[in-house]
Structure formats: C-alpha cells, structure tokens
Amino acid sequence: MECFLKAIWKLKPRLMLITEQESNTNESSLKTRLENALGFYGALFDGLEANVPKAREADRSIMERMLLSEEIKNIIACEGIQRKERHEKAETWVRWLELAGFQRKPLNNARILQVTRHLQNYGGGYKLEERDQCLFVCWNDCPLYFISVWKF
C-alpha cells in the first residue's frame, strides 16, 4: 500500500476519488477471510438476485461466473503474493490516505441526490448512507461499497 500511495502522491492529483468494497478480505487468517467474504458476497448476490430482471438472468450469470467467481476464488484459495484481491474497509483507507498526506473533502450533496435517483431504478433494497464524509452504497443495511473524495 505504501508503494501505491507514493506513486499516487508523485502524480500530484488535484482530486482523487476512491471507490472500494466495504469488506475486509486482507486478513491473513483463512477463516476470517472466508467469513468476511461470505458476508459481503452474500449481500452482493442477494441484491443482484432481487433486482436483475428475469430476462437478464443469463447476463447476470455470466458476470458472476467471469468476474466475481475469480475474485472470490483468489480471496479464499490464494495466499501470500498469489492473492491479488485485498479489499479494505473505509476506515483503513481513511487512515492510510491521511497518513500519506491526503485531505478528505466533503461530498457534493447535489451529486449524491443525482446518484440516489439512479439507484431507485434498480428496485428496493439499495440505499445510500453518508458517514464521515464517505458515501456508502448499501444493500438493505449491509454496506457494499464506499466512495470518498481526497485532495492532494
């Protein structure tokens, strides 16, 4: 992570948008990774199942098989440098970015309302929550992704 943040710092971005899964799959313990992955992907699949129309089930199945299954397999089956999927929760990202000298910026409320309207097209269950200057995309009460804005 230190190398990644140094590389970002060298780019000197004016603003940086971070979007990450709100799950912790960077644990060394297989049991903990499995439990965390089960909770996150269970909620993600529940949201997809509840909101993808029957006519698009084949597309959903392809996406699950090609993208998500590889990600899950890497989280569960790989150790050490072979494991590429290492998601962290917002609190960890905030700590890393602040230590690297980035400053969190407030989210634009007008833009949040615009995004919220698009979520309503996906049916019930999805919602947005703003906490600690981060926007969380949730399935029911389970945060799936977070979005935050940072200044160099």
pLDDT in tens, 22-62: 999 998 899 999 999 999 999 999 988 887 777 788 888 88
| Domain assignment of residue 78, given as a range | 2-151
Q: What is this structure's pTM?
A: 0.83
DSSP state, residue 151 = E
Please tell me the total count of domains within the chain.
Answer: 1
* Closest by Cα among 73, 68, 74 to 41: 68
**pLDDT tens digit sequence for 87-104:** 999 999 999 999 888 899
